[in-house]
């Protein structure tokens, strides 16, 4: 069905355990930590003061810059502090708003709005005010992503429900239990970009979610459902576009450049709640799983809830808890402490036992087997990149497409020599991207220099012509 | 109380394939052919393998020590063992001990470690070792025993006889070389044609069965079974063997159609000499072969074609070793021109 997809791996999904029990609400802690930079782009700016009372859903930080997002209080209470706190997605602490929960959940007045009466621009502005960011894990603010699509005339909304990474099941549970939210959100998003077409892509291993979506669509055919094989990383944005539409996003470009906007199904559901219920993005569904936790399940949790509280909600740690991962086992972030808060990006927390993960063996030299190239979804040659990354040969790395690497980890997974390729590529990208920057700076400087030369030449030419004209005038008068 | 965990980077889990597993499975896949070799040609090959593997491990350890590399880690990867076993399979079972010892030592020291060891050698070490022996001691490499089947072998060689011959280089007093040896099928055809016989007259000899040389056909069935299991286990990909067999058999079929009196047909080439050993176990060596699937097709087809050219018109009865080495030489070029189109890039 999807012969166009390249590479990829069939991995053990490990999703059965967390999808056995229905979705439930996590308990709300006494203190919530909301980092100001938990979305991609520039950090938000606080608009509340320490000590100030806040209501559930009240904006507490506003976007700053082109790519940024609103932040809302997930509970009612008081701003306890605005200070740096440890966060899951980076090493150094991030400035955060800490809210002391008063336990009353008193709501900030926010009327529901009817999207059908709104223009594209109004819809996008309202989406921005809801603090909506991509909930698939990349947390790119939704409004700027929607606005970028203006460049193409024929627009297509692609909802990503292909949750390809092992362990993560929050989108599956969302679609099973709240398919109506996903469909409503899809219609709002579609109208917000003036798209003619809308497709929801899912994998073939979640039949219950597919049935729920079809039931919610109720024979209306304005939204198509595309079922893909569950091959990792089919849910990667670029891979999904190729699989569903047979098109490739140009290297260095964005899907919006070819008129495609990809949004996670969770993002669509968040948009629906914001428009229908007036509830901004203050919670998300998170999979708590792994053999290190007693009861694996999906929780709907308020942003800012410490991960330790989520695990306590799932019966606490089992004996064999050895590793803590935010995200899936292929691309997730290793966490060093469970005191870190749930953020907009936290789709999954794996409390892994040793048996859940196959540890890396002793690294051997590359034997050029080419298995890495076979599984690379971007059709790169990881083995060649490996040689050149070791030699820091930036030119060769650029030419071999290092910047097209999506860091999915497939090459690592199959490497018989156990070379940590993905980590090597992540590190190699740093000098390569500064090289790219330098090149574009250099070409900008050259353009400026050439423009200046041209300007000087033009001025000189004009002066000469004026002089000439004057001379002609003078000689004319003499005659 | 908060719990802390060790830091880790993605991917947090890896597959179960390892270099040692690949090499181990390749050795296992050679076992059927080795067992059939013992049935057809007696226990000589076992002794050759023991000598070769011992030499390979000793020289590998020595080279690793000189290069200050972790000895145990690399000694256990199995790659040196494969080199030794492949050389042993190319040598006549009664070849003197110093042949396998010097060939293997050359392969490991010069062809492998001088270039940087595992993963860094441009040439297939086993083929380098074999080619050196073939060029230096051609006479020793023609003394193939007559297969001990269908009454082709008149003498019953004991293990003692085999041991004595390999270690002294002399046959026991009661035996003579021309009594127990027999030309290989490729040699038989070559000398037959050189003597002015037609192909049909040459293959009329009792050493030929329905599919090439008697006894050799059995060993080839073993090699085919081993190769198929490697394909099924995804240790090798189909591209190299299929391309090599096609590169050999297509010109063979063409020449056979043009002049069936002089050129043996494709089936003869399929089961003759080192064709199947080469296709499944030598050309598929990842280190010295092309890496992309398209590259492997070109690389394999080149080996097949060069093998055919050497067999049909060259100075040696078989050409697999030289063909492999020649195509090893072309790998950087092939790799350069078979880079796949990257996602989102124009061609």
Residues of A in contact with B15 (CB under 8 A): 358, 413-414
* Pairwise CA distance, residues A475 & A95, whole Å: 76
- How high is the pLDDT of residue A453? 83
Task: Give the model confidence (pLDDT) of B5-53 as tens digits.
Answer: 988 888 999 999 999 999 999 999 999 999 999 999 989 999 999 999 9
Task: Give the model confidence (pLDDT) of B201-215 as tens digits.
Answer: 777 777 777 677 788
DSSP letters along A126-172, please? Answer: HHHHTT-B-TTTT--BHHHHHHHGGG-SS-EEEEEE---STT--HHH
3-class DSSP assignment, residue A85? strand
- How high is the pLDDT of residue A4? 61
Nearest chain A residue to B291, by CA:
A370
Nearest chain B residue to A336, by CA:
B5
Interface test with B, best of A321, A339, A367 (most B CBs within 10 A): A367
* Pairwise CA distance, residues B152 & B207, whole Å: 7
- How high is the pLDDT of residue A287? 96
pLDDT band at B251 (very low <50, low <70, confident <90, very high): very high
Nearest chain B residue to A366, by CA:
B119
B280: left (phi > 0), else alpha (psi -120 to 50), else beta? Answer: alpha
Q: Which residues contact A266 (CB under 8 A, 6 or more apart)?
A: A135, A136, A170, A171, A174, A284, A285, A347
Task: Give the model confidence (pLDDT) of B282-319 as tens digits.
Answer: 999 999 999 989 999 999 999 999 999 999 998 888 89
CA distance A11 to chain B (A): 9
Residues of B in contact with A381 (CB under 8 A): 291-292, 339-340
Tell me the percentage of chain B whose pLDDT exceeds 90: 64
Interface test with B, best of A254, A314, A332, A379 (most B CBs within 10 A): A379
Q: Which two tokens stand for residue B44?
A: 């000589």
CA B108, B113, B116, B122 dihedral sign is: negative
* Pairwise CA distance, residues A392 & A428, whole Å: 7
Which has the minimum average pLDDT: A208-212, B154-158, B322-326?
B154-158
- How high is the pLDDT of residue B169? 85
Task: Give the model confidence (pLDDT) of B108-130 as tens digits.
Answer: 999 999 999 999 999 999 999 99
Q: Which pTM was predicted?
A: 0.88
* Pairwise CA distance, residues B100 & B94, whole Å: 11
Phi, psi of B346 (to 5 degrees): -75, 160
Phi, psi of B234 (to 5 degrees): 60, 30
- Cβ-contact B209, B272 below 8 angstroms: no
- How high is the pLDDT of residue B113? 96
Q: Which two tokens stand for residue B201?
A: 């007259």
The three-point CA angle B255-B260-B261 to 5° equals 125
Pick from A323, A367, A401: CB nearest B118 = A367
User: Do A404 and B291 lie within an 8 Å CB cutoff?
Assistant: no
- How high is the pLDDT of residue A252? 86
Q: Is the pLDDT of residue B72 over 70?
A: yes
Pick from A331, A356, A417: CB nearest B10 = A331
The three-point CA angle A69-A159-A124 to 5° equals 35
How many other C-beta atoms are found inside a 10 Å radius of the C-beta of residue A277? 13
* Pairwise CA distance, residues B149 & B145, whole Å: 11
Identify residues of B whose CB sits under 8 angstroms from chain A CBs.
Answer: 2-19, 21-22, 73-74, 77, 79, 117-120, 237, 286-287, 289, 291-293, 296, 335, 339-345
- How high is the pLDDT of residue A1? 41
* Pairwise CA distance, residues B187 & B35, whole Å: 24
- How high is the pLDDT of residue A2? 42
Pick from A330, A339, A366: CB nearest B119 = A366
- How high is the pLDDT of residue A477? 64
User: Do A251 and B344 lie within an 8 Å CB cutoff?
Assistant: yes
Largest CA-CA distance found in chain B, in angstroms, rounded: 93
User: Do A338 and B14 lie within an 8 Å CB cutoff?
Assistant: no
User: SS3 string of A361-413?
Assistant: CCCCCCCCCCHHHHHCCCCCCHHHHHHHHHHCCHHHHHHCCHHHCCCCCHHHH
- Residue ranges per domain, chain B? 17-182, 185-337
DSSP letters along A257-278, please? Answer: GGTEEEEEHHHHHHHHHHHHH-
Residues of A in contact with B118 (CB under 8 A): 364-365, 367
Residues, chain B, total? Answer: 347
* Pairwise CA distance, residues A441 & A424, whole Å: 26
Average pLDDT, 10 consecutive residues per value, chain A (479 residues): 71 92 95 95 95 96 93 96 94 94 92 90 94 92 87 85 93 96 95 90 93 92 92 92 92 89 96 95 96 95 96 93 94 93 96 92 92 94 93 90 94 95 93 84 82 83 86 73
DSSP letters along B304-331, please? Answer: HHHHHHHHHHSSSS--HHHHHHHHHHHH
**Residue that the structure tokens 């980890």 belong to:** A409
pLDDT band at B217 (very low <50, low <70, confident <90, very high): confident
Check residue A354 and report its DSSP letter: G
User: Do A373 and B340 lie within an 8 Å CB cutoff?
Assistant: yes
* Pairwise CA distance, residues A209 & A98, whole Å: 36
**Residue that the structure tokens 């396998």 belong to:** B100
Residues of B in contact with A409 (CB under 8 A): 10-11
Whole-angstrom Cα Rg for chain B: 22
Cis, bond preceding B11 (omega within 30 deg of 0) = yes
The interface pTM score, or ipTM, of the predicted complex is: 0.89
């Amino acid at each position: 069905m999807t012969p166009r997809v390249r590479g990829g791996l069939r991995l053990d999904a490990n999703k059965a355990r967390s999808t056995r029990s229905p979705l439930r609400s996590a308990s709300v802690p006494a203190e919530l930590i909301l980092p100001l930079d938990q979305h991609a782009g520039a950090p938000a700016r606080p608009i509340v003061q320490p000590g100030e009372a806040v209501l559930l859903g009240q904006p507490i930080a506003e976007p700053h810059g082109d790519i940024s997002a609103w932040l809302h209080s997930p509970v009612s209470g008081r701003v306890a502090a605005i200070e740096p706190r440890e966060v899951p997605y980076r090493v150094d602490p991030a400035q955060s708003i800490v809210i002391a929960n008063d336990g009353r959940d008193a709501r900030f007045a926010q009327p529901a709005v009817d999207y059908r009466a709104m223009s594209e621009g109004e819809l996008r502005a309202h989406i921005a005010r809801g603090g909506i960011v991509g909930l698939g894990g990349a947390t790119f603010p939704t409004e700027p992503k929607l606005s970028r699509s203006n460049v193409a005339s024929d627009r297509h909304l692609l909802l990503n429900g292909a949750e390809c990474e092992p362990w993560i099941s929050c989108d599956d549970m969302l679609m099973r239990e709240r398919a109506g939210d996903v469909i409503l959100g899809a219609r709002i998003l579609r109208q917000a970009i003036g798209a003619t077409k809308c497709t929801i892509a899912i994998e073939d291993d979640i039949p219950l979610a597919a049935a729920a979506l079809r039931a919610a669509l109720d024979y209306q055919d304005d939204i198509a459902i595309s079922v893909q094989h569950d091959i990792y990383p089919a849910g990667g944005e670029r891979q999904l576009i190729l699989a569903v539409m047979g098109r490739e996003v140009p290297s260095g470009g964005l899907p919006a450049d070819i008129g495609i906007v990809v949004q996670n199904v969770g993002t669509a559901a968040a948009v629906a709640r914001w428009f229908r219920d007036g509830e901004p993005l203050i919670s998300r569904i998170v999979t708590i799983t792994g053999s290190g936790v007693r009861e694996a399940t999906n929780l709907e949790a308020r942003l800012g809830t410490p991960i330790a509280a989520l695990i306590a909600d799932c019966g606490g740690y089992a004996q064999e808890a050895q590793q803590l991962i935010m995200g899936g086992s292929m691309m997730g972030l290793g966490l060093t402490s469970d005191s870190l808060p749930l953020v907009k990006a936290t789709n999954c927390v794996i409390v892994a036992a040793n048996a859940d993960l196959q540890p890396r063996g002793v690294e051997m030299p590359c034997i050029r087997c080419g298995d890495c190239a076979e599984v690379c979804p971007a059709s790169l040659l990881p083995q060649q990149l490996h040689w050149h990354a070791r030699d820091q040969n930036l030119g060769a790395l650029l030419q071999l497409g290092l910047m097209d690497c999506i860091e999915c980890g497939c090459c690592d997974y199959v490497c018989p020599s156990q070379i940590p390729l993905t980590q090597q590529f992540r590190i190699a990208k740093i000098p390569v991207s500064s090289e790219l920057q330098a090149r574009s700076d250099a070409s900008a400087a050259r353009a400026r220099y050439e423009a200046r030369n041209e300007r000087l030449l033009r001025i000189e030419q004009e002066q000469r012509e004026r002089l000439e004209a004057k001379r002609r005038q003078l000689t004319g008068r003499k005659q | 109380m908060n719990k802390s965990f060790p830091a880790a980077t993605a991917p947090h889990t890896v597959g179960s394939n390892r270099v040692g597993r690949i090499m181990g499975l390749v050795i296992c896949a050679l076992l059927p052919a080795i067992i059939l070799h013992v049935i057809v040609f007696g226990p000589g090959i076992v002794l050759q393998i023991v000598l070769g593997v011992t030499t390979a491990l000793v020289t590998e350890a020595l080279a690793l020590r000189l290069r200050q590399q972790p000895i145990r880690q690399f000694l256990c990867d199995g790659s040196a063992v494969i080199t030794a076993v492949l050389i042993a399979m190319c040598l006549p079972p009664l070849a003197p001990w110093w042949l396998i010892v010097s060939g293997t030592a050359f392969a490991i020291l010069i062809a492998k470690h001088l270039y940087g060891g595992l993963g860094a050698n441009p040439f297939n070490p086993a083929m380098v070792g074999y080619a050196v022996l073939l060029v230096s001691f051609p006479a020793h490499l023609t003394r193939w025993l007559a297969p001990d089947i269908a009454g082709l072998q008149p003498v019953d060689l004991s293990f003692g006889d085999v041991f004595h011959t390999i270690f002294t280089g002399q046959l026991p007093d009661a035996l003579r070389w021309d009594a127990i040896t027999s030309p290989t099928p490729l040699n038989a055809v070559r000398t037959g044609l050189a003597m002015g016989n037609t192909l049909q007259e040459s293959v009329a000899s009792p050493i030929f069965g329905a599919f090439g040389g008697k006894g050799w056909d059995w060993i080839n069935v073993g090699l085919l079974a081993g190769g198929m299991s490697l394909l099924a286990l995804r240790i090798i990909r189909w591209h190299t063997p299929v391309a090599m067999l096609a590169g050999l058999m297509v010109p063979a079929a063409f020449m056979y159609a043009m002049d069936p009196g002089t050129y043996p047909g494709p089936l003869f080439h399929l089961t003759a000499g080192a064709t199947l050993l080469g296709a499944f176990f030598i050309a598929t060596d990842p280190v010295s072969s092309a890496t992309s699937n398209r590259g492997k097709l070109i690389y394999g087809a080149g080996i097949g074609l060069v093998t055919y050219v050497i067999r049909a018109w060259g100075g040696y009865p078989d050409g697999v070793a030289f063909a492999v080495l020649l195509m090893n030489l072309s790998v950087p070029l092939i790799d350069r021109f078979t880079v796949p189109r990257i996602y989102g890039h124009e061609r």
